[in-house]
Amino acid sequence: MAYADVVNSVYRITRKEIVISPAACALIGVFGFILATAAGAFIRIPLPFTPVPLTLQTFFVLLSGAILGRRLGILSQAGYVIVGLIGLPIFAGAHAGGAYFLGPTGGYLVGFAAASYVVGRILKGRRPANLLKITFAMAAGSAVIYLFGAAWLAYILKISFEKAMLLGVLPFLPGDIVKAAVAVALYKPIEKRMKDVFPA
C-alpha cells in the first residue's frame, strides 16, 4: 500500500464520528451538571455578616438551564439536591442531609432547580437567541434563586423579607453579575451546537 493510501485511511478513521444516542446525551448532561454544581459548592467563601456563603454554584445552575434546556436542567439541579439529601457531602462546606437542607440556605437549593427551568424556558426554541435574550435569561434565573433564597432565609431566621434581602441577596449581587456575564460569554458561541445535542 502506498504511503498516500495509508495517510488517507488514517484520515478516514479519525474523521469518523462517535454516535451517542439522545438518551445517553441527556444522561451525560444531567450527571455532568450534578457534578459541576457539586464542584461549585466547594469553591466557597464564608462571609462574616451572613449565614449564606459565596460559592460558584449559581454559575453552573444558570448554564445547566441554558445548555440542557428546561426539562433536563431542572432534573440536573433536582438531582443535585437529592444526592445531597441522601447523604453525599456535596452541599456548600461539604455538608449533606436534611438538616442542612432545612437550614438558612435551603431556599437557594430549591431555587437552583427553579432557576434552571426558567433559564431553559426563556431560551427554548431551535433558533439561536440573541445576546440580549441570553442575558435576560441569566438575570431572570439569578432573580429566581434570590427570591427562593431570601424568602426561606426570612422564614428560618424570623426576620423581614427586606432584612433577608440585605443578608442573602445584596452582598452577592456583584459576584453574581460577573458569574452571569461569564455564563453568557461561554454559552453564546456553543448555543447552536447545544440545541442540537439537547433539544428542548
Span 146-196, pLDDT tens digits: 999 999 999 999 999 999 999 999 999 999 999 999 999 999 999 999 998
Question: How far apart are the two ends of the chain, measured CA to CA in Å?
Answer: 48
Residue 112 has pLDDT above 80, yes or no: yes
Whole-prediction pTM value?
0.87
CB count in 10 Å sphere of residue 1: 7
Using CA atoms, how far residue 55 sits from 15, 42, 52, 84, 130, in Å, is 40, 7, 9, 16, 28
Write down all domains in the chain, each with its CATH number in brackets.
25-197 (1.10.1760.20)
Task: Please answer whether residues 78 and 135 qualify as being in contact, where contact means their C-beta atoms are separated by less than 8 angstroms.
Answer: no
Instruction: With a cut of 70, say whether residue 11 has pLDDT above it.
Output: no
113 vs 68: CA distance, rounded Å = 12
Is the pLDDT at 37 greater than 60? The verdict is yes
Cell 449559581: give the residue: 58
Helices (H) and strands (E) in the chain, counts: 8, 2
pLDDT for 128 equals 86
Residue 4 has pLDDT above 70, yes or no: no
Q: Give mean pLDDT, residues 28-52.
A: 92
Q: What is residue 14's predicted lDDT score, i.e. its pLDDT?
A: 45
**Is residue 90 scored above 90 in pLDDT?**
yes
**What interhelical angle do 173-197 and 57-85 show, nearest 10?**
80
What average pLDDT does range 124-142 have in this prediction?
A: 93
